[in-house]
Every structure is written in structure tokens, then in C-alpha cells.
Structure 1
Amino acid sequence: MSAPPVKPVLQKPPGYKDPNAPAGARGFRPPPRKPVLPPFFHPKKRKTNYGRACCCCFCVFFLIFLLLILISAAAFYLWFDPKLPGFHVQSFRISHFNVTKRPDGTYLDAKTTTRLEVKNPNGKMTYYYRNTEVDVTVGEGGYETELGTTTVPEFTMQEKNTRSLRVETKVSNKLVVDEVGNKLKTRYRSKTLPVNVEARTKVGVGVAGLKIGMVGVTVKCDGMSKKKLDGGDMPKCVINMLKW
């Protein structure tokens, strides 16, 4: 008697689970492992740039601060309408002027009286002046000669106020070059002698009872002639701020 034919072994389909297999062994597969990449494929961690952030914050705050200053300055200007003080030479008189030639040189004796008119055109601001040094010179070019310096005590200019400052100077036995002495004497007699007055001081501003800083100011009254001054001409002086 011949043996029965052998049945072929059936292959299990993919994903087949044996119901008779233990529970722990049913279809257990270890989790897939991530492929190991070379170091240069690893993503780099971004570093926080604190310096750049601080710089940006500083720029923003600075712009805001600058904007506030500009707005405050505009509001101040519109409300107070500030104007610079005005200086004029009200009068100038030479009470004594003598050029003497001696064997040892030429000497000058002179006395002058100058009146400076100071105006405060502001209606809401007060000006505070420190001690003011005033120089008086005559002549121009190569023969300009000093006629003395005096100091005017500090004073205050209220709103819409005008004040006259009396300035007296003198020189005695001042040695000058012979040629300069001759020119001064000739132009003094013809009343064409150029006169220059320069004042140096410091000015502070008072607003709503508060004093704001002191600024150096130089006032120059140049190019005046004695003839024009005697005729009542009141030339306006030039004010240079922040100069001392």
C-alpha cells in the first residue's frame, strides 16, 4: 500500500498572527531605530543674541526720548515765544583824549563814557546777567587801541523791560606807536575815529519762577564812528552765543 501524498506547507501571509501563540510573543516587534546620521547633518542649536536685542531696545528708547525732547521744545517755543535780548549803544562820549609826544615815546590819555541799552522783548521770560566785562577800543586795522576795561555788576531783566548801563573807562600814560598816535589824533579831531564796544557776560533764563542754566554771551558793537554817535545814531550790536 502506497503512502499518502505530503501536503505542501502553506506560507503565512504577511501580518499573520498565530492565535495560539503566547500573548507576549504575538506580533512583537522592536521599535524601529533611527538611523545614525553623520555629525555635520545634526541641526545646530540657535544661540540667543542678547547683545543685538539690547542694542535694538536702546535704539528704540533713544528715538522715543529724542521725540519727547523735540515735542517739549516745540511746545516751549510755541507757548513762550522766546526772543534774544537786544543791545544798542545809546551814547558814547570821550570826555578826555590827549596824545602826547615825549622823547621816550608817544603816550595816550583818555576817558570815555558809554551807555548800553539792554532790552528784554519777552513777555514770559526773565533774563539774569552775571558780571559783565566791557572793553572799549578806538581805531581799526593796524592802529586799534584799547581805551580801558570795566565791569558792570550782575543784574536782572524782567519781562518787557529796558535798562541802560553806564560804562566808564580810562587809560593813563598808555604807550603807543608814534604812527598810531598820529592817526588817532587826526581822526579824533575830524570825528571819524572808529569806536568799538565789546561786552562779555553770562546769561540765564527764568521761566515760571525757575532759573535755567547760564550761557556765555559776547556782544560786539563795531564799526561805529564818533560823528554818527554824536548825531544820535544807535547802532545795533551783534550777539554771539556760547562764546566767552
Structure 2
Amino acid sequence: MAETPLKPVLQKPPGFRDPNFPAAQSGFRLPPRRPLLPPSFHQREGSRFSRACCCSLCIFLSVLILLVVAGCMVFYILFDPKFPVFHVQSIRLSQFNVTKKPDGTYLDAVTKTRLEVKNPILKMTYYYGDTEFDVSFGEGGDETAAGTTAVTGFTMVKQSTTCLKVETKASNMLVADDVGNRLQTGHRIKMLPVNVEARTKIGLGVAGLKIGKMAVAVKCDGITVKHLDGGDMPRCVINMLKW
């Protein structure tokens, strides 16, 4: 009886694993997979971080504002700061001529003004920069320029008074005929409104320290020679941070 021919043995491909062979007995294990997080989870983490940053910033700003307010209160209690006080002592028109010529009406005027400046603070010093003065005649938005001049900077110690002399000049200035008539009439009856405006910078000295200068505008409007002759000393208006 002839022998049955043997079947050829099949070669197992590389990496072949017998499904009947227990995986626990194999020396090779697949690495564990990292769980995939849904996109909403990452968004929640980012929103939490943003909220934490906003809360920290709000707390910091609140503390900073409280410190600034407390510092201002302490400063006010200790030094009792006040604005300087400006009064007009006198105004003299040493020259005032309105001349009518064939080609128009002309104004020549020399104005001498004395201003009294007071520092009412007991514990602070004022430092003034160079001050520019403008003088004009008239009121109600219909003013006529009467010259500009400048005064060099000065210092006012605690509770002191300073007198400033301001002289301006208008020479051969062309004005409208009706304006010339109004100016001449006002000057004759001593009711010509005179306006003085000063622009300067003021700094403070506290306990030996100088605080930076601040822009200041001082306005003395509608002053007449007749009122000054009656003994009045009109008080000027101070506008801080406004030119």
C-alpha cells in the first residue's frame, strides 16, 4: 500500500499570533492608549484660566485704587491743599488813543496792571513757570486785543503774597469804526471792560520735595477802572489743566 504524501508545512508570517495562545503568556504587550478628551473639556480648562486671570486683575486694580484714595486722603488731612488766589489790584491806561484816519480807525494803548497773588497754604510752596499775559478790551465775545507780555517764573513760600506788574502795549492797531467809538466812550467814562488772562505752570513743594508742574489758566474778565477806583479787588478765576 502506497504511503500518503506529506503536506508541506506552511511558514507563519512575521508577527503572526496564534489566537488560541493566551495573550497573558506572551512577552509582548501593546502600550495602553491615552484616552481622547472631548474638545469641550479643553475649552472648559481655558475658560477657567481666563476667569482666574480676570479675577486676579480686578483684585489688583481694586487694591491699587484703595491705596491711591487712602494716600490722597492722608495728603489732604496733613497738608490741607488750596489753590492760589489771584486778585486785580489796579489797572492804569497810561496811554489810550483812538485815531480816525482816511484808511480806518486805529488804537494805541499802554496798559499797566498789578496782580496780587496769595499762597494760602501753611505747609506747601508754589513754584511758577514763565507766565504769559494777554490783555484785551471789551466783553461778550467782542474783545479787542491790547497786547501780550511775559513774566519770568517765581516762587511763593508758605502763606506769602506776591505782586506782579504786567505792562502791555497796542500800537497803531486797526479796529472797526464802531469798535473804536465804543472803546473811546468806555474809556472816557471809566467803564471800559479790561480782561487779563494768564497762562502758566504751577508746581508744589512739599516737605522738601518738588511735585511736577501743572498747566493753569487764570482769567480776570470784565474789570473796569471805575470799579477799581471804588476800592474793589476783583478775584480771578483759575482753571486747572485747561488752557
TM-score (norm 1): 0.80
State the match for 1:152 in structure 2.
Answer: 151
State the match for 1:135 in structure 2.
Answer: 134
Aligned residues: CA RMSD: 2.0
Quote the Cα distance in structure 2 between the aligned partners of 1:196 and 1:90: 13
Query: Which is greater in Rg?
Result: 1
Which amino acid is the alignment partner of residue 201 of structure 2? Answer: K
State the match for 2:65 in structure 1.
Answer: 66
Moved over 3 A (4+): none
Quote the Cα distance in structure 2 between the aligned partners of 1:89 and 1:65: 43
Quote the Cα distance in structure 1 between the aligned partners of 2:143 and 2:53: 60
Gaps of 5+ in 1: 1-38
* Deviating more after overlay: 44-53 vs 217-226: 44-53
Quote the Cα distance in structure 2 between the aligned partners of 1:178 and 1:217: 35
What are the equivalent positions in structure 2 for 1:214-225 lying under 5 Å apart?
214-225=213-224
SS at match of 2:105: strand
SS at match of 2:45: coil
SS at match of 2:217: strand
State the match for 1:212 in structure 2.
Answer: 211
Which amino acid is the alignment partner of residue 234 of structure 1? Answer: M
Query: Residue deviations 1:172-229, cap 9 Å, x none?
Result: 1000011110111111101111111111111111111111121111111112111111
Quote the Cα distance in structure 1 between the aligned partners of 2:151 and 2:213: 17
Quote the Cα distance in structure 2 between the aligned partners of 1:142 and 1:239: 19
Contact kept in structure 2, 1:91 and 1:232, CA below 8 Å? no
State the match for 1:110 in structure 2.
Answer: 109
State the match for 1:50 in structure 2.
Answer: 49
Instruction: Quote the offset at 1:232 in angstroms.
Output: 2.4
Instruction: Quote the offset at 1:142 in angstroms.
Output: 5.9
Contact kept in structure 2, 1:205 and 1:213, CA below 8 Å? yes
1:201 matched to 2:207? The reply is no
Contact kept in structure 2, 1:98 and 1:110, CA below 8 Å? yes
Which amino acid is the alignment partner of residue 238 of structure 1? Answer: V
Instruction: Quote the offset at 1:231 in angstroms.
Output: 2.3
Query: Residue deviations 1:131-153, cap 9 Å, x none?
Result: 10111111123642111010010
State the match for 2:167 in structure 1.
Answer: 168
TM-score (norm 2): 0.80
Give aligned-pair identity as a percent: 63
Contact kept in structure 2, 1:219 and 1:238, CA below 8 Å? yes
Quote the Cα distance in structure 2 between the aligned partners of 1:232 and 1:205: 32
Gaps of 5+ in 2: 1-35
State the match for 2:80 in structure 1.
Answer: 81
